[in-house]
Amino acid sequence: MTPSVAEPVYFNGQFLPLAETHVSPLDRGFLYGDGVYEMIPVYSRQAFRVDEHLKRLAGTLAGIKLPNPLDLAGWKAVIEKLVAAAPWEDQSIYLQVTRGADNKRDHAFPPTTVTPTRFAFSSPLVAPSAEIRARGVAVISVPDQRWARCDLKVISLLANILARQQAVEENCAEALLIRDGYLKEGAASNIFVVKDGILLAPPKTQLMLPGITYDVVLELAERHGQPVKIGEIHETELRRADEVWMTSSTKEILAITTLDGQPVGNGKPGPVGEKMWQWYQDFKNSVMRKG
Ligand code: PDD
């Protein structure tokens, strides 16, 4: 079987085989989910929007009051080394930082002498197949039971996990999270809606992760003259949509064609989503060609 984690991995300043990494059970990531992560797509061995991903990582670290253990150049050097060592052209780079392991369990932060645990590795990046894209995917909607800082990309993901698992148990690809009647995002994706040719996007608030793909989609819409409206999307608007898509670094732009067992629009991927997917591919290729 093809391994899904390339070696060496990056662990606390070293590049090691996975089997040589060791995390204490007192690590606050393990005890409390006290840590942050990033997922950066790599195409043709080039990290896509790496500065934006590392900026979001820095923002999340600041948001949980954990000093960034590496500067921009430091993270880029780690990423470059992982990318070069991995066997795949397209990869996903996972970065994680936790608040480290103290010698006791205490909710409050440990002394500053405790060093954060840093871990990063590469996996193969597999975009949705042409067949899945042609069909679109089915999703469910569920109440958003997450905390009030969903803009931070933290590793404590239990509410997202439970929502996604419910989707899987109902043979669906994703769960859309509804809070107080409004669509926020998916369990691991941002969600866009199209109505009467206008692209609707939920606003960036503390109740949504600011997706890097979300930003690219809005930039491409602007560049190609696609009308956009950014604003809260009520559940009723979601259910009346002509098109609904999910976006993320791994799914790119993927049509949602069934919501809670009902067809979205005519039940097929729509023309605006198709165009956006093509613009996204063209943009990716132009970035990769630039080197
Ligand atoms: N998830 N919203 C949530 C809750 C997410 O977890 C993600 C990404 C996104 C999309 O963000 P981006 O476009 O930057 O990938 C939105 C990643 C892929 C993950 O958890 O693995």
Average the pLDDT over 103-114 and give the result: 97
For the chain, the average pLDDT equals 97
Distance 111 CA to ligand 1 centre (A): 31
pLDDT number for residue 1: 54
In angstroms, the CA 39 to CA 57 distance is 10
Mapping DSSP to helix (H, G, I), strand (E, B) and coil, where does residue 55 land?
helix
- What is the CA(164)–ligand 1 centre distance, in A? 13
Laid out side by side, the sheet with 46-47 consists of 14-16, 9-11, 117-124, 91-98, 35-43, 46-47
State the closest ligand 1 atom to the C-alpha of 94, by its place in the atom list counted from 1.
21
Q: Which atom of ligand 1 is nearest to the CA of 249?
A: 15
Q: Is the pLDDT of residue 175 over 70?
A: yes
Listed by start position, the domains of the chain span 9-124, 130-290
Ligand 1 centroid distance, CA of 190 (Å):
7
Q: Which fold has domain 130-290?
A: D-amino Acid Aminotransferase; Chain A, domain 2 (3.20.10)
- Nearest CA to 78 out of 15, 6, 155 is that of 15
Check pocket membership of 190 for ligand 1, CB cut-off 6 A.
yes
pLDDT surpasses 80 at 289: no
| Pocket lining: 202 vs ligand 1, CB cutoff 6 Å | no
Ligand 1 and 209: CB distance under 6 A: yes
**Mean pLDDT, rounded, for 150-162:** 98
Share of residues in the chain with pLDDT > 90 (%) = 97
Kindly report the number of other CB atoms within 10 A of residue 224's CB atom: 12
What is the pLDDT, as a whole number, of residue 287?
A: 82
Ligand 1: does its nearest atom lie under 6 Å from the Cβ of 189? yes
Active site residue 65: no
pLDDT of res. 174: 98
211 Cα: distance to centroid of ligand 1 (angstroms): 6
What secondary structure does DSSP assign to 130-181, as a single string? HHHHHH-EEEEEEE----S-TTS-BS--HHHHHHHHHHHHTT-SEEEEEETT
Which residue is catalytic, options 76, 81, 153, 229?
153
* 8 preceded by a cis bond (ω within 30 of 0): yes
Confidence (pLDDT) at 288: 80
Q: Which of 168, 136, 127 is nearest to 43 (CA)?
A: 127
**Tell me: domain 9-124, CATH 3.30.470.10, correct?**
yes
Q: How many Cα atoms occupy the beta-carbon half-sphere of 71 within 13 Å?
A: 1
Selection from 92, 99, 105, 85 nearest residue 17 by Cα: 85
Enclosing H/E stretch for 280: helix 271-290
Helical axes 50-63 vs 212-223, angle rounded to 10°: 130
pLDDT band at 178 (very low <50, low <70, confident <90, very high): very high
> With bands split at pLDDT 50, 70 and 90, how would you rate the model's confidence at 82?
very high
For tokens 């040719």, the residue is 197
CA 177, distance to chain mean position in Å, is 15
- Asked whether the predicted pLDDT for residue 243 surpasses 90, the reply is yes
Average pLDDT on 1-7 reads 81
Q: Is the pLDDT of residue 291 over 90?
A: no
Phi, psi of 188 (to 5 degrees): -145, 40
Task: Grade residue 121 by pLDDT with cuts at 50, 70 and 90.
Answer: very high
User: pLDDT tens digits, residue range 218-238?
Assistant: 999 999 999 999 999 999 999
Residue nearest to atom 3 of ligand 1 (CA): 188
